Amino acid sequence: MEIRKPIPVSSAVEKVINHSKPLPIIEIDYLNSLGYSLAEPIIAKHDVPSFNRSPYDGFAVRSIDTKGASSTERILFNVIDHIGAGEVSNHTIGPFEAIRIMTGAMIPKGADCVIMFEQTLEYGNSFTIRKPFEPNENISLQGEDAKKGEELIPAGTLIHPGTIALLATFGYHKVKVRRKPKVGVICTGTELIDVEDELVPGKIRNSNGPMIIAQLARMGIEGTYYGMFSDDLDTCLSLVEQVFKENDLVITTGGVSVGDFDFLPQIYKELGAEVLFNKVAMRPGSVTTVAVLDGKLLFGLSGNPSACFTGFELFARPAIQTMMGNRKVFLPQVKAYLEEDFFKPNPFTRFVRSLYTFTDGKPVIRPAGFNKSNAVSSIAKGNAIMVLPGGTRNFKAGDLVDVLLLGLEDGVESWTI
Ligand code: AMP
Ligand code: MG
C-alpha cells in the first residue's frame, strides 16, 4: 500500500493559493455586482456632499445676525424664499433675512448656518430665535463624507450592499470586477443514490453533491453539478476530463483514499495532473487531495460528509476567492471560550463542527453534535468550525480556542441591546 506523508494544513493552504490565479477582469452593470470583488478601487469622483447642504428642515441665515439672541432679547428674521431638496435659491441672504430650507437642499449664498424649526417662533413670514448660532452650525459641509480623489474602497474588496450604494453615488454604472470561476462538481461512489430514491440496503443518499453546490452558492458561485457516478475508472476518468475542460476548477467527492475502488489517484495520473498533496495533517479530511493541471485545480475531497465540508471551506474557498480577486480569502477567524471539556487527543489539527454564540457577555463555542468525519448532522447544527492544534489534548471548559465562522448571514433570535 502506498504510504502518504501528511503535510501541515498551513502548507496545504499555501500550495493551493500559490496555484490559484485571479481570473480576467470584466466590466458589469453595478446592479449585478453584489458578491463580486472589485477589480478597481472606488475613487471619490467628486466631494460628498458635493455642495453645502442642510441636514434639517429649518431656516438658513447668517450666523453673525444671531449674535446676542436670548430668551429676553429675541432676534427677528424675515423669510425671503422657500426651497426644498433639489432646489436652489437665486437669492443671496442679507442681514436678518432667512430662507426656509428643507433637508438636503443647498445652503443659499450668504447663509452660514441653519436654524431648526423647533428653535424658532414663527409669525407669518417671519420668526424669532432665542439663542445665537455658530458659523457652519447645522450645515453638512461639502466633502465631509468623502473628498474628491480619495480612494474609498481598495480593489480586491467584496462588493456588498453598502459598496453598491457607493458605486451609485459616484456614477459607476459599470464596474470592473474579476470573473467568477466556473466550478464543476462530481460525486463518486457506487453506494450513492439520489434524494428521490428509496433507501435500499447498502446504499446512502448523496448529500455531498448538493452540500457543495450550496457551499458554492453561499460564496456567490453557481456551480455545475454533473451528478454522481459509480466507482468505475473509465467512466470517472472520461467524466473528470470533460468537467475539467468545461470549468475553471473541478471538485470531486469520494474516491481519494487508498481503498480498492478509490480511483481518483489513478485518474490524476492518467490526466498527467501534478498532485500538490494527498494527505493533510488534519481531522477530518486527512485524505483531501489537490492536483493541478494546466494551471487549473482539481479538488479531491473525501466522501465523508464532515471531511468533505471542511475540505471545501479550508481549501476550495481560498482558491475560489483568489480567483475572484478577493484579498480576504479565508473564513473569518475569532476566539471563543470552550463551553465544555474536549478530552479527545488531537494527533492532527482537529476541525470540529461547532456552535458559536455570545452567551453571558462572552463568545463561547461547543461541538455541534456527533463528531466523526462521516457525521452529517453536526454540519447542519453548526455555524462555526473550532480549530484545535495538532499535538494537543485535554481541552477544558473555559479554554480559549480558535474559531472559524460560517454563515454570518444567520441571525439571532433576540437582541440584548
Ligand atoms: P470515500 O471518500 O469514497 O472513501 O467515502 C468515504 C465515506 O463517505 C463512505 O462511507 C461513503 O459512503 C461516504 N460518501 C461518499 N460520497 C458521499 C456522498 N456524496 N454523500 C454522502 N456520503 C458519501
Ligand atoms: Mg468511495
Q: Which ligand is nearest to the CA of 253?
A: 1
Report how far ligand 2's centroid is from the alpha carbon of 188 (Å): 6
415 domain residue, yes or no: no
363 domain residue, yes or no: yes
Report how far ligand 2's centroid is from the alpha carbon of 262 (Å): 6
Report how far ligand 1's centroid is from the alpha carbon of 225 (Å): 17
Is 92 in the same domain as 212? Answer: no
Instruction: Report the C-alpha gap between 417 and 147 in whole angstroms.
Output: 34
Q: Ligand 1, residues 304, 306, 312, 372: which to mutate, most atoms within 8 A of Cβ?
A: 304
Looking at residue 43, its pLDDT comes to: 98
> Which ligand 1 atom is the nearest neighbour of the CA of 231?
3
Report how far ligand 1's centroid is from the alpha carbon of 370 (Å): 17
CATH label of the domain that carries residue 84:
2.170.190.11
Q: Ligand 1, residues 188, 190, 192: which to mutate, most atoms within 8 A of Cβ?
A: 192
CATH label of the domain that carries residue 42:
3.90.105.10
Pocket of ligand 1, beta carbon within 6 A: 187, 189, 191-192, 204, 206-209, 253-255, 257, 259, 262, 302-305, 374
208-260 pLDDT tens trace: 999 999 999 999 999 999 999 999 999 999 999 999 999 999 999 999 999 99
Over the chain, what is the mean pLDDT?
A: 96
Report how far ligand 2's centroid is from the alpha carbon of 231 (Å): 7
> Which ligand 1 atom is the nearest neighbour of the CA of 261?
3
Looking at residue 412, its pLDDT comes to: 83
Q: Tell me which residue range forms the domain holding 362.
A: 333-405
Q: Which ligand is nearest to the CA of 261?
A: 2
135 domain residue, yes or no: no
1 domain residue, yes or no: no
Is 220 in the same domain as 363? Answer: no
164-216 pLDDT tens trace: 999 999 999 999 999 999 999 999 999 999 999 999 999 999 999 999 999 99
C-alpha cell at 135: 458659523
Give the chain's domain count: 4
Q: Which ligand is nearest to the CA of 256?
A: 1
283-326 pLDDT tens trace: 999 999 999 999 999 999 999 999 999 999 999 999 999 999 99
Is 185 in the same domain as 310? Answer: yes
334 pLDDT higher than 90:
yes
Report how far ligand 2's centroid is from the alpha carbon of 356 (Å): 32
Looking at residue 411, its pLDDT comes to: 84
Looking at residue 406, its pLDDT comes to: 95
1 pLDDT higher than 80:
no
Domain boundary among 323, 357, 379: 323
C-alpha cell at 147: 473628498
CB atoms within 10 A of CB 62: 20
Instruction: Report the C-alpha gap between 107 and 82 in whole angstroms.
Output: 12
193-207 pLDDT tens trace: 999 999 999 999 999
Is 254 in the same domain as 232? Answer: yes
Q: Which pTM value belongs to this model?
A: 0.94
Cis preceding-peptide flag for 284 (omega within 30 of 0):
yes
Instruction: Report the C-alpha gap between 129 and 142 in whole angstroms.
Output: 26
Domain boundary among 178, 194, 217: 178
Report how far ligand 2's centroid is from the alpha carbon of 405 (Å): 29
Q: How many residues does the chain have?
A: 417
Looking at residue 32, its pLDDT comes to: 98
64 domain residue, yes or no: yes
Q: How sure is the predictor about 413, in pLDDT bands with cuts at 50, 70 and 90? A: confident
Looking at residue 415, its pLDDT comes to: 85
Report how far ligand 1's centroid is from the alpha carbon of 302 (Å): 7
Is 35 in the same domain as 165? Answer: yes
Report how far ligand 2's centroid is from the alpha carbon of 126 (Å): 85
> Which ligand 1 atom is the nearest neighbour of the CA of 209?
19
> Which ligand 1 atom is the nearest neighbour of the CA of 191?
12
Which residues, 6+ apart, have CB-to-CB distance to 100 below 8 Å? 58, 59, 79, 81, 82, 83
Nearest CA to ligand 1 atom 15: 303
Looking at residue 394, its pLDDT comes to: 94
Looking at residue 232, its pLDDT comes to: 95
Nearest CA to ligand 1 atom 12: 191
CATH label of the domain that carries residue 230:
3.40.980.10
> Which ligand 1 atom is the nearest neighbour of the CA of 207?
20
409 pLDDT higher than 90:
no
Q: Which ligand is nearest to the CA of 206?
A: 1
Nearest CA to ligand 1 atom 5: 303
Cis preceding-peptide flag for 49 (omega within 30 of 0):
yes
13 domain residue, yes or no: yes
Q: For 5-30, what is the mean pLDDT?
A: 98
Q: How sure is the predictor about 414, in pLDDT bands with cuts at 50, 70 and 90? A: confident
Cell numbers 441672504 correspond to: 93
101 domain residue, yes or no: yes
Report how far ligand 1's centroid is from the alpha carbon of 241 (Å): 21
> Which ligand 1 atom is the nearest neighbour of the CA of 302?
2
C-alpha cell at 10: 498551513
69-126 pLDDT tens trace: 999 999 999 999 999 999 999 999 999 999 999 999 999 999 999 999 999 999 999 9
Q: Ligand 1, residues 236, 374, 376: which to mutate, most atoms within 8 A of Cβ?
A: 374
